[in-house]
Structure 1
């Protein structure tokens, strides 16, 4: 890991692999200390993958102000500047896909190819599920509701038919949520990130994205519903959309389909 200065803040960053640079923008609450992450996946076998803790997250700065999606896009631009990169491929997952839209709209010349996975446009295109509503639920209810939203197969009926497996999944999610829960600055940063997420709306500006774009939806994803992801893809000129197996949290890890499609797309020079 290293620390770089960008957009007036200090960011914790890690790079892995070699080849064309890929700036990977992660989801809500992502922290470089949590493994595995995209640095450990197949992208780093073909490209130089760059991953960083976004403002308010991980070991990066947590300024005591409200955050906006424009702030996150400018942070990403600042990372490219700090690393001396005129441009890079950009892959955004979930919240990171929202940031990637802002970046491509604001600074198209800095984005080579764009991948938006598990992300929506907001506004008239439809918004991702408002997960900020879960923040103040008790830990078990929060874990259960999170799983029900992320995976459309995790229904009350499935839970009743598979109580042991449902309990295991809920318990694992509770353990993940409890990590660093006593870090007040981190918790505040997460709330500010979710507040910015709630304001995300790029739909009326998506036509300005002229970069080659791949949009990915998970077939069981209830957090970024497939129909909303389709609206996102339809609004970006010449964007390609694919649907892969998996739920919101597993589409980039539950099967090789998404990464195989991303690698092929980023390597396409046509």
Structure 2
């Protein structure tokens, strides 16, 4: 039996280090591809890049964090190419206006300034503790996250901040989905709460939607609970398509 294509989209400042257990754990059935956004500075451009570089016309698509937003934009641009969709620890809302939006913008650019002045790793030490379950702090996994952040540059950080601050509203995409769509989230995700995924799951047409929570897990679910996430994605790949 030929393998299916599986595109695994990383989030903000993330790379292939987010997905190694899923790549190896699903290798018997899927050819996994992990795109790199380079210096792209919009969600739309990132999605277009994913579509242009995908090795097959039709593929399964999983996105983590910002990668989930990119995945939803891929569905917006080319829904016929996506066989199955998995959204992990992500969101759908557009950039907020008013005071809430200004606060988000200020916090993101304060982190960028720290990255420029002190380096990416030092910025990560301030930013990344909220990424994981408290039990993962001061562990090799947390150091691996800092290593990943350090592989990026302030210029790439700025480009991805611009993308997130101009993020589109993905609610219409969720409501129009026509393929099996699983929402997977750590129950202790402080950045992209499980409750938000419940709302997203209800937006997806009921025949396609499924939600799965992972206990004792923060935002970095693919790294924190790799066995559980890989098992869920394996079951997701078994889901019949239209």
TM-score, normalised to structure 2, is 0.78
Q: Secondary structure at the match of 2:26?
A: helix
1:126-183 Cα offsets, whole Å, 9 max, x none, are: x9x8773533346657524421x223547xxxxxxxxxx85567983785267346xx
Give the alignment partner of residue 161 of structure 2, picking from 182, 188, 194.
Answer: 194
Alignment of 1:22-101 (within 5 A): 22-32=6-16, 34=17, 37=20, 40-56=23-39, 67-80=41-54, 83=55, 85-101=56-72
Q: 1 CA distance for matches of 2:66 and 2:123?
A: 22
1:165-215: CA deviations, max 9, x gaps?
A: 85567983785267346xxxx421221112212322212442122121011
Deviations 1:242-270 (A, max 9, x none): 10131111445424222111111112236
Q: Gapped runs of 5+ residues in structure 1? A: 1-17, 57-61, 155-164
Q: 1:87·1:110 contact (CA, 8 Å) conserved in 2? A: yes
Q: Distance in 1 between matches of 2:229 and 2:82?
A: 20
Q: Is the 8 A contact 1:144 1:170 kept in 2?
A: no
Find the aligned partners of 1:216 and 1:153 in 2 and give their Cα distance.
19
Unmatched segments (≥5 aa) in structure 2: none
Residue 87 of structure 1 and its aligned partner are, at CA, apart by 0.4
C-alpha contact (below 8 Å) 1:105/1:208 kept by paired residues: no
How many aligned residue pairs are there?
A: 223
Alignment of 1:1-270 (within 5 A): 19-32=3-16, 34=17, 37=20, 40-56=23-39, 67-80=41-54, 83=55, 85-123=56-94, 132=108, 133-137=110-114, 142-147=124-129, 149-151=130-132, 153=134, 166=137, 172=143, 175-176=146-147, 179-180=150-151, 186-200=153-167, 201-238=169-206, 239-245=209-215, 246-269=217-240
For CA contacts below 8 A with separation 6 or more, give which structure has more relative contact order. Answer: 2
Deviation at 1:52, TM superposition (A): 2.1
CA contact (8 A) 1:39 1:51 kept: no
Q: Helix, strand or coil: the match of 1:22? A: strand
Offset from partner CA, 1:46-88 (integer Å, 9 cap, x none): 21111121232xxxxx6xxxx21111111111012xx2x1200
Contact 2:8 2:19 in 1 (8 A): no
Q: 1:215 to 1:250 in 2, by over 3 A?
A: closer
How far 1:219 sits from its partner (Å)?
0.9
CA distance in 1, matches of 2:50, 2:23: 21
Matched residue SS, 1:92: strand
RMSD: 3.2
How far does residue 117 in structure 1 lie from its aligned partner after superposition?
Answer: 0.6
Q: Which has the larger radius of gyration?
A: 1
Q: What is the TM-score normalised by the length of structure 1?
A: 0.70
Per-residue deviation, 1:96: 0.9
Work out whether residues 22 and 50 of structure 1, in 8 Å CA contact, stay in contact via their aligned partners in 2. yes
Contact 1:135 1:142 (8 Å CA) reproduced: no
- Report the 3-state secondary structure (helix = DSSP H, G, I; strand = E; otherwise coil) of the residue aligned with 1:143: helix
